[in-house]
Chain A
Amino acid sequence: MQPNVNVVSLVSIGRHPQSGRSRRAEQDGRAVELGLSLVGEALTVVHVGEDQDPVLRQYAGMGLPSMTVLSQGKECDALPVLTSFLKAQLPSVVLTGVRSESGESSGMLPYLLAEALGWPLVPRVAEILHIKDGQAEVLLALPRGQRRSVQVTLPFIASVDNAAQEARQTAFGPGLRATLHVETVDSVVDDAAIQWEMSAAKPRPKRLKVVKAKTAADRMKAATAKPVGGGGKIMKNETPAEKAQAIFDLLLEEKVVR
């Protein structure tokens, strides 16, 4: 526990995949859990949206004495409100889920926030090992249970992966008694989003799974082996300019930039 670090977890209203009902979002719950394990009750948990939503009590039931709600309607954009809130608060660490379970669910919020604040973004965090001297050692979640340890300078934004510690059980009583600090904010209506028409997603046709492996050993290998990139190239001794050029060429080739 490092109570002297200012940590903020951002939470949204989740949506149960089976019932479609509001719930504590899976990844946001993990963001709160990670925040609680870092700084305990000193954690600030922020929600942008309606302050009456009962799901907020589910987050509070994880043992939060209070929560901050930046109150605005569903049609408003969360980004400007959060940016100004964080600029005023200046926390060291901001934790979010990778993507929300409702709304646009684009997963862009942490990136846009990082851009607006000019902070580094650490995507898909599994664990924050320790925070010391303005530096944090963070474990990133990679596919197949692999982890990568990175050093990042405070302040930073991290999105929390499903590999992080599962959110603890929510308790009814503390959730009910927690204080909600409701702040009225200058909301900006998301003009683009209100034009959109939402409709239920149709299940995409699934590609047939052709099992190529002939033996159990092959299947085991296929399930556990590291993916071997075919066209990859490791550049270690080149100059930074050469490395940047290689990246730029790749982006051109993949038509990411034109």
Chain B
Amino acid sequence: MIFDWLPPTLIGVLLVLAGIGAVRRINLWRAGQSEKVDILAGLMAMPKRYLHDLHHVVERDKYMSRTHVATGGGFVLAMVLVVFVHLFGVKSEILAWALLAALVIMFCGALFVAKRRLNPPSRLSKGPWMRLPKSLLTFSITFFVLTLPAAGILPEGFGGWLLTVVLSVLILMSLGEMLFGMTWGGPMKHAFAGALHLAFHRRPERFGGGRSTGLKPAVLGGDVHGVSKPTDFKWNQLLGFDACVQCGRCEAVCPAFAAGQPLNPKKLIQDMVVGFAGGTDEKYAGSPYPDGSGGVQDVGNAVGGKDQIITNGLINPDTLWSCTTCRACVEECPMMIEHVDAIVDMRRFLTLEKGDTPNKGAQVLENIIATDNPNGYSPASRTHWAADQNLNVMKEVKQADVLFWVSDGAFDMRSQRILRSFVTLLKAAKVDVAILGDEERDSGDVARRLGDDATFQSLAKRNLATMSQYRFNTIVTTDPHAFHCLKNEYGDFGSTALDGVEVLHHTTFLNRLIKEGRLQLDAFSGGKVTYHDPCYLGRYNGEYDAPRELLASLGIEVAEMERSGYRSRCCGGGGGVPITDIPGERRIADMRMEDVISTGAEMVAVGCQQCTAMLEGVVEPRPVVKDIAEILAGQLKEMH
């Protein structure tokens, strides 16, 4: 047969081209900053990370997880067998039959991929992604026919040279997509970059059910702070961007995108790819950034290069300042890409290098630097809220069982009601508690999310130095943002102040008190109640149960919102977003209140003063907003 050599040659050539593409792609990633990664351990852990952690996220969409298992699994198996059967010419009917089986599985999966693409939801990218199911189907059919003789179903040489040529053309088309496209930037790139991204992830703690949400500290004192150009990212961050499969799940959950603010996490990640690979975003085929006034921004004008400053032509700073750092995109991303890290990295450049924090940002940062609180109040008035509370101050008592971290809510009259309620509960349970009083400072949360890591680190170090003078076993705070900083971010500064100290949110702490029988509460009879999960309590710290158990202990059956738990929608108060205040079509807090109203609840319970402020900012009539501490304090049995 004159053309028998053609299919194996094609397979071989495409494999080599894929190899060249892979080296080229790897070099693009290696242009990033160095980061210590255990390469071998990562590669070893990769299959488990893929099969367990990634699949766990994909499985939230059962249709897609089954489709992907069939298509992806079928393809990987088929590809390995194709190499043996068709490239190396291993004569084994068992292998050939196994290959046929793999191809059938893949074909079935590909049919469902094709079905999803018949009427794709808006979050999915179109363009080359619409071609993918056809390539998948072509691949499975082509190799099925090609393998039939090897399996002994058809005689050798069936169809003559004509079939061989036809099959060769189909091989070129489908295998081109699958192998060449995998490393040269086609849709299948997600498989190659994704697998390596799982292996070399910057937060390996996230795998195996772990959690890693604290931002990494910026290195202070270099030639540049934060990320100005794509090569300022760590190399494995660049790799992570490349892993994006453009499924748009991030887009579907992003509160800023829903509010019509100029942010779309998926587009952001694609722009990052444009940044380090060079070129423009004209090939992007997903939803564009909203323009802030009901329309969308044009696609195709963003230009990037690996040594070009990102905010000069690739991304508008407003896009970065729209993010509430709610982590919904990260939680939802099946590729476990870290959008929030990247956004804060770029914000660091804007704040620390350009001095360009929008709107009230500059003023707030200046206040934090000069007075340790964002509104510029006198640090000597921090404890005024507790003038009638008869609370122990650490400076006097030196030690206590519990340190109550009051947070900047001390300056805000609405938040003070939450603080007082919590103190009432602490006293009823006879907890040995003390506060830092005027020695407490802002936790640094806002400064850090606004990109000013210098100020955050300074605050963190000073707070740690203060705390190291005193002895306590537990820190409790009513502010999830301070909670997150204390628990997950203060550990990076080499202090022993928090060694052996348990950091708790007040809902967790109160739940323990109730379980220990130290609080006697009356049942609640105030109508239907729903619960809003604060991002920094839920997604950042995994505390979904304690608040619900507390409400249940009052006899409240929580009327859950559609988006609750790990899918909770942000209130719009995180990430310094109320300070930078980027215009949008709607307010995030209004949308969240619509979620609340749709449950028919008369009250929404919250566990965060920031959420309380945002939700209470929604115009009435609307359900009542109360912190769980306030609800509990209202049900406290009078002791006689």
Contacts and interface: CB of A to CB of B under 8 A. Distances in A.
B209 interface: no
Given A18-B378, A18-B379, A176-B221, A63 B372 contact: no
Interface in B393-444: none
15 contacts: A16-B371, A18-B371, A18-B378, A18-B379, A19-B370, A19-B378, A23-B366, A169-B361, A169-B365, A169-B366, A171-B356, A173-B224, A173-B352, A173-B353, A176-B220
A19 B379 contact: yes
B352 A171 contact: yes
B362 interface: yes
Contacts of B356: 169, 171
B355 A170 contact: yes
B454 interface: yes
Given A19-B379, A172-B225, A172-B452, A63 B355 contact: yes
A171 B353 contact: yes
A61 interface: yes
B515 interface: no
B568 interface: no
A30 B72 CA distance: 62
Given A18-B377, A19-B378, A171 B371 contact: no
Contacts of B378: 18-19
Nearest to A29: B366
A171 B356 CA distance: 8
Interface of A: 16, 18-19, 21, 23, 61-63, 168-174, 176-177
A152 B284 CA distance: 58
A11 to B, nearest CB: 16
A63 B379 CA distance: 30
A19 B371 contact: yes
B232 to A, nearest CB: 12
- For A19, A62, A174, which residue has the most chain B Cβ atoms within 10 angstroms? A19
Closest 5 CB pairs of A and B: A171-B355, A169-B362, A18-B378, A169-B355, A16-B370
A61 B357 CA distance: 14
Given A18-B377, A18-B379, A19-B378, A171 B354 contact: yes
Given A18-B378, A172-B452, A173-B224, 4 more contacts: A16-B370, A19-B371, A168-B355, A171-B356
Nearest to B452: A172
A203 to B, nearest CB: 13
Contacts of B365: 169
Contacts of B372: 19
Contacts of B379: 18-19
B451 to A, nearest CB: 10
A172 B219 CA distance: 12
A57 B454 CA distance: 13
A232 B356 CA distance: 48
A168 B357 CA distance: 11
Nearest to B354: A171
Contacts of B377: 18
B352 A172 contact: yes
B376 interface: yes
B462 to A, nearest CB: 12
A168 B353 CA distance: 13
B70 to A, nearest CB: 51
Contacts of A171: 351-356
B369 interface: yes
Interface in B325-379: 351-357, 361-362, 365-366, 369-372, 376-379
